[in-house]
Amino acid sequence: MGYLSLKDVTKRFGDVTAVNRVNLEVERGECFSFLGPSGCGKTTTLRMIAGFEDLDEGELSVDGKVFSSSYKKYYLPPEERDFGMVFQAFAVWPHLNVYRNVSFPLEIRKLPKHEIHERVTRALKYTGLAKQENTYPKQLSGGEQQRIALARAIAINPKVMLLDEPLSNLDPKLREEMRFEIKDLQRKFDLTIIFVTHDQAEAMALSDRMLVMRDGTVQQVDTPLGIYDRPENEFVFSFIGLSNFIPVESNGKGFFVRGAEFSGDPLLRPDKPGKRFKMACRPSEISLARGGEGVEATVARRTYLGDMVDYLATVGGTEIRIQKPRRDALLDEGERCRLTFNKARWFPSQ
């Protein structure tokens, strides 16, 4: 059993099932991300973990202690769960300085003054706010205000840290910096973190493991590399990273890109003959050259993306996106080329 355990966790709002029988085990000290499109149920699941929503069905436990259970008719309120929570909004008190923003929840718990001071000092040190303890939030940047929220959550010595889109209000450069700071805090304090985001880059950078959700159901749980490289279904492949879905047709001996004037050798045939398939391939997994073997195509668009060049090539009526390093030989728009699919995945086609 994992440190944080969800068994058949279900939540309904009227006739809508927002979270449908989610089973999950998160290990102690793990940074675990919930990733999925808006409305998929990830934030609702986080709110049930936090205790802001009760379960309609299922059971939730931490370190072997039941926090919510429809079977046992038990519900532990959020203030008794000892969880740290950081929201999308900075959620700081403008009339309190940095030190009091962090110490106030501890004061409410009536901890001894010396313990409060030790906890606050440590939390401010590791969030880079030690020299700003007397500063008020309005004098700080967005990133510094979010560090206040992190320090406040760390100071309570949480069993689990819950982060709900905590970086979405920051500019891109600061958001990237904060990703690494959160990961450093996890290691320093051995925190168990549940991180909710729709940002793939955040999830990939922060997670030890991650969960992809769709329509309230779990699609896949794996490491970031496993999710990216070994997607279990078409939705996961399409949601994580850039993707091409390429229609193919069979001549009985193998598969070819539909509409190709010249296709070269057949594409790798799936293991299940007799079914209809479509081929999926990442833009970075397609080779593009002026000649040689491969599927004949035409460069329809070329776009510079810093060190990367993004091509859109057409094969018959199919558009295929390819990304290559800028140092590679450049092809011009309208130029004929050949495509080689270096790593293809196959999904059933209707």
- Asked if residue 275 has pLDDT above 80, the reply is no
How confident is the model over 213-255, as pLDDT tens digits? Answer: 999 999 999 999 999 999 999 999 999 989 999 988 877 667 7
Domain ranges of the chain: 4-238, 242-348
pTM: 0.86
Percentage above 70 pLDDT, the chain: 95
Q: Tell me: pLDDT of 344 over 90.
A: no
C-alpha distance from residue 37 to each of 9, 41, 164, 169, 209 (Å)? 19, 9, 14, 18, 18
The label of the residue with tokens 């904060």 reads 178
d(CA 84, CA 32): 15
Q: What is the CA radius of gyration of the chain?
A: 25
Instruction: Give the torsion through C-alpha atoms of 269, 273, 275, 281, to 10 deg.
Output: -20
Rounded Cα–Cα distance for residues 198 and 210 (Å): 12
CATH architecture entry for 242-348:
Beta Barrel (2.40)
Task: Indicate if the pLDDT at residue 56 is higher than 90.
Answer: yes
Which residue did the predictor score with more confidence, 180 or 335?
335
What was the pLDDT predicted at 263?
61
Class of domain 4-238 as given by CATH: alpha beta
Q: What is the pLDDT of residue 115?
A: 94
Structure confidence at residue 100 as a pLDDT band (50, 70, 90): very high
Beta bridge partners of 238: none
Say if residue 178's pLDDT is above 70: yes
Q: Quick one: average pLDDT of 129-140?
A: 91
DSSP character at residue 298: E
Q: Quick one: tokens of 41?
A: 């149920």
Answer yes or no: is pLDDT of 264 > 70: no
324-339 pLDDT, tens digit per residue, is 998 887 899 999 999 9
pLDDT (0 to 100) of residue 269: 61
Query: Looking at residue 230, what is its pLDDT?
Result: 92
Cβ density class 174-207: b for 16+ within 10 Å, e for less: bbeebbebbbebbeebebbbbbbbbbbebbbbbb
Handedness of CA 267, 270, 276, 279 (dihedral sign): negative
Question: Per-residue pLDDT tens for 104-120?
Answer: 989 988 899 999 999 99
Top-confidence range, 8-12, 76-80, 194-198: 8-12
Q: How far apart are CA 87 and CA 290, in angstroms?
A: 51
pLDDT in the model for residue 268: 64
Residue 249 CB neighbour total at 10 angstroms? 13
Contact present, 213 and 41 (Cβ < 8 Å): yes
pLDDT of residue 272: 58
Mean predicted confidence (pLDDT) in 198-218:
92
**How high is the pLDDT of residue 270?**
59
Alpha-carbon span 178 to 164, nearest angstrom: 14
Q: Is the pLDDT of residue 262 over 70?
A: no
Pairwise pLDDT comparison (270 vs 306), residue with the higher score = 306
Pinpoint the alpha helices (H) of the chain: 42-50, 98-108, 113-126, 142-155, 172-189, 200-206, 224-229, 234-239
Q: What letter would DSSP give residue 285? A: G
pLDDT for 266 equals 66
User: Residue 35: in which H helix or E strand, if any?
Assistant: strand 31-35
| Residue the block writes with tokens 């008794």 | 80
